[in-house]
Amino acid sequence: MLSVDLPPEPSSATRARALARERLEESCSSDTLETVALLVTELVTNAILHARTPLLLTVESRPGTVRICVEDESNEQPALRHYESDAVTGRGLALVEQLASSWGVEATPSGKAVWCEVPVGEVPSTK
């Protein structure tokens, strides 16, 4: 399991993506790894842009799935919005909706946790 505190700054999204890849590279297929990396980036970026508080990223490999969770200190609930095709922002939760098998938001004592789960593809054998 990966659990890391991150500051609310743009470089945290890049760091979170790299840490998630490193942690899962030997246990997930490349397709799963790419999806997880993208969703980690989206959830961390959303927390940075909207909560603007320190955050906690947790990435946990479970049987058949990878669970990603980003906790922040804001009570503001994220909302899935539908934007025009030429919009340059606002597609983070739409990507989560499309690529994750499930996702949600839970209240925490200090704010909220936004989570999603990604099905794990088999790792190709190296014979």
How many C-beta neighbours within 10 Å does residue 62 have? Answer: 10
Q: In what order do the strands lie in the sheet with 65-72?
A: 2-6, 55-62, 65-72, 111-119, 102-108
Q: What is the pLDDT of residue 44?
A: 97
Q: What is the pLDDT of residue 91?
A: 67
How many C-beta neighbours within 10 Å does residue 57 have? Answer: 24
- Out of 1.10.10.10, 3.30.565.10, 3.40.50.2000, 3.40.50.20, which CATH number does the structure's domain 2-119 have? 3.30.565.10
Q: What is the pLDDT of residue 80?
A: 67
- Average pLDDT score over residue span 7-21: 97
Asked if residue 77 has pLDDT above 80, the reply is yes
